[in-house]
Structures are given as structure tokens and as C-alpha cells.
Amino acid sequence: MITIKEITSKADLTTFVKFPFKLYKDSPYYVPSIIKEELDVMNPAKNPVFKNAVAKYFLAYKNEKIVGRIAAIINWIEVKEQKKPKIRFGWFDVIDDIEVTKALLAKVVDFGKQHSLEYMEGPVGFSNMDKAGILIKGFEELNTMITWYNYPYYQQHMEKLGFEDAATWVEYKIKVPKETKDKVIKFAKIIKERYQLQLLKFKKSKELLQYADDMFDLLNKTYSSLQTFVPIQQYQIEMYKKKYLPYLNPEYITCIADKSGKLIAFSIVMPSFSKALKKMNGKIYPLKFLHILKAQRRNDTAAFYLIGVDPEYQNKGVTALIFKEMNETFIRNGIEMVETNPELEENKAIQALWNDYDHEQHKIRRTYRKSL
């Protein structure tokens, strides 16, 4: 018999967060999240997203054992301002039993109907900055710090239960050239001089703070036309500054300003933390965090997380200047491979950036949608 329990206590929430550790304990490719960070994300007292969102969390039991989990989420900005009558579901993990999946999703349906919503979509988080998508290709690859891992049967469960494809993301591995191509160097110089651009580099992560708000503003402008877009609110920005600043190596951040000093483009790349996070196994106490510090300084793989370009400068070659700086940073630090952030399949402009490099599409992930 399958029983679904709504979480009402801190202890149950901790159990909810830790369930994937048990489910994927034998997988060499699962990279766990930091337990404390996951708990903070789900805590209305610590995550400002709850100013415009509401969530319920559920655990599935079978024969008195936990066999699945799911979060049901409503983002009120998405529903009321963007007129999308959608309930989200995320933090979805389950054993290979479609009846468990069906029972968990039924709770999402119930919560959505209570608020007169029309359809459900997931797995996604609270906003664009959270993890999203069921992995459907790349099961023998480590997940990154900002993606979920899952077993192949997740896709089969969704399709058998009548879900339709919603959004699809692709990810790439890119081989770093051993030297920056001459044409990139020349083109970057031309673009920099033509538009009188300034290159901003940083020695300390705290120096980035003065540009953080401008970066998020550029993100909102860059991705506003994409189907999954929900504007990032200022109170969320403040949380993201605190959450991600400790992981940033300023040498890997490139910012470009116009002649007046206004930020018009940026990229955020980090040394890959996948192997470090796997060693940490969800813990972040000082000795465990040494794995992150080591990965920041000695690594042969980097993760390309974000790029933002002011619409006024899009399609004007500004990315050549960014790529030149990134490639030179990679060469100095012994980076041989870069893994991209998930990119929406229809975002051809971003994917075109990799055409001049030796690259491989190694992962695909997808969200699924169904009427309530």
C-alpha cells in the first residue's frame, strides 16, 4: 500500500532532503546537494521567494519505507502577473514504481485545483535560477552543482502517465583550445575599439558585489523572451548573492562595460565542483569545504553557468571579447574542458556560440506538462 504524507515538521523536511542520498547511493554519477542549503531553500524564514510563492512537500511510503518525494509549488508572479495558471512540481525523486509516481503527482493536482489552476509542469524549482528538468540523456555523466540527476525510468513514468513535453534543455562539453585563436583575438580587439568597451576584471569576490544587481538586470533582459522566464525579484537577488558568492573565483568572471562604465555584458564561469560535492556528500563543515577550496584552485574542468548581454549589444560580436578572456583564463589555470549550463533547446543564439569550438552535446533534460 502506498501512503503519501505531507511534511509538517523540520525533522520530516530533513528526511525529505536526504531521500536522494539513499535512492542514488550506488550511482557513481549522482552529485548531492548541500543539505543545509536545500533546507534553507525550503524554509520561508530564509528564502525570500516565499514572498511570491507557496509550496507543499510530500513523502511517499510503501511498506513503511520512503519510496519517493515531491514538492508542489505555486509562483504567484507567474500565475497573476504573467497569466500562467500553472502549478509547478519539483524535488521529484522516486523508485521505479509508476504507482508511486502517480500517487505523488496526484497531490500536486489536488493543490493546483484548490487554487483553480489549469495545468502542472515540472520538475522545476521556484524560479529560473533553480534546478529544472528530468534527465533524458547523459546518465553516465556527473550532474553539476545546478542540475538534478535521475535514473532513466523517470522519463518513462511521465510518458506512461500522459504527460506532454514542455521545455527541453541541452548541455555541452567543450574542449578548450590550447591557445586563443588569432581570429578571436583580432575580432575581440575590433569590437572593443568600435564600441569603446572596457574590460572589468576582479581580484576578490567581494569586488563583484557592486556589479551584482546590474548582472541580474542583464539576465532579466537577456532571457525575457524565453518560455520559462519569470523575472528575478530584488529580494531573490540578495539571497543569490549570499548563496553563490563563496563559490566564485573572481578570475573566472568577465564583465564588460561601455565607455560610461555601465555594465553591458558578463559571464560567470566556475571551476567544476561536481567531484568536490560528491566527496562532501551533503555536508559543509570546514574540513568538507576544503574540497571546494581545492576545486577552485586546481581543476581541469570548468562549468559555464551564466552569460548576459544587453539587448542593445546583442549580435554585435561582444561575446568574442568574453570568449577571448575566458579562453586565456582557462589556459592560465590548466582548464581543458568546459561544461555548459542547461540551455533551452530553442535558444539557438546561445548554442551557436559553441560552433567554432570542438564540442559535444552530452546531456538533455526536459520538463513535462499535463492539464489538471
What is the tens place of the pLDDT at every residue in 35-48?
999 999 999 998 88
Spatial distance between the Cα atoms of 292 and 275, rounded to a whole number of angstroms: 9
Domain membership of residue 158 as a residue range: 2-171
Supply the DSSP string of 281-297, one letter for each residue: TT--SHHHHHHHHHHHH
Spatial distance between the Cα atoms of 317 and 353, rounded to a whole number of angstroms: 10
First vs last C-alpha separation in the chain: 25
pLDDT at 224: 65
DSSP secondary structure code for residue 149 in this structure: -
Among residues 171, 193, 215, which one ends one of the domains?
171
Average pLDDT over residues 120-137: 92
pLDDT at 159: 97
Spatial distance between the Cα atoms of 270 and 299, rounded to a whole number of angstroms: 10
Same domain, 164 and 182: no
Share of the chain above pLDDT 90, in %: 59
Same domain, 121 and 35: yes
Same domain, 166 and 197: no
Spatial distance between the Cα atoms of 368 and 122, rounded to a whole number of angstroms: 5
> Which of 126, 151, 136 lies closest to 27, judged by CA?
151
Same domain, 76 and 205: no
Among residues 137, 171, 205, which one ends one of the domains?
171
Same domain, 321 and 216: yes
Element (H, E) at 223: helix 209-223
If one counts every other C-beta atom within 10 angstroms of the C-beta of residue 235, the result is 13
Same domain, 214 and 151: no
pLDDT at 17: 97
* Pairing mode of beta strands 253-257, 65-75: unpaired
Supply the DSSP string of 296-357, one letter for each residue: HHS-SEEEEEEEEE-GGGTTTTHHHHHHHHHHHHHHHTT--EEEEPPEETT-HHHHGGGTTS
Among residues 106, 139, 171, which one ends one of the domains?
171
Q: What is the pTM of this model?
A: 0.89
If one counts every other C-beta atom within 10 angstroms of the C-beta of residue 102, the result is 14
Same domain, 77 and 162: yes
Same domain, 31 and 83: yes
Is 31 a member of any domain? yes
- Residue 127 phi/psi, 5-degree rounding, is -150, -175
Same domain, 110 and 202: no
Spatial distance between the Cα atoms of 196 and 262, rounded to a whole number of angstroms: 12
Number of structural domains in the chain: 2
Map residue 16 onto helix, strand or coil. Answer: helix
Identify the bridge partners of residue 336 per DSSP, sorted by sequence position: none
Is 364 a member of any domain? no
Spatial distance between the Cα atoms of 233 and 143, rounded to a whole number of angstroms: 27
pLDDT tens sequence across 159-175: 999 999 999 999 999 99
Contact 8, 15 (CB under 8 A): no
Is 116 a member of any domain? yes
Same domain, 35 and 93: yes
- Res 225 pLDDT > 70: no
Is 351 a member of any domain? no
Instruction: Look up residue 345 and give its amino acid.
Output: E
Same domain, 52 and 152: yes
Task: Write down the mean pLDDT value for the chain.
Answer: 90
Same domain, 207 and 146: no
Is 19 a member of any domain? yes
- Res 302 pLDDT > 90: yes
Spatial distance between the Cα atoms of 351 and 347, rounded to a whole number of angstroms: 7
Where residue 241 sits, what CATH number does that domain have?
Answer: 3.40.630.30
* Pairing mode of beta strands 301-309, 337-340: parallel
Is 360 a member of any domain? no
Is 181 a member of any domain? yes
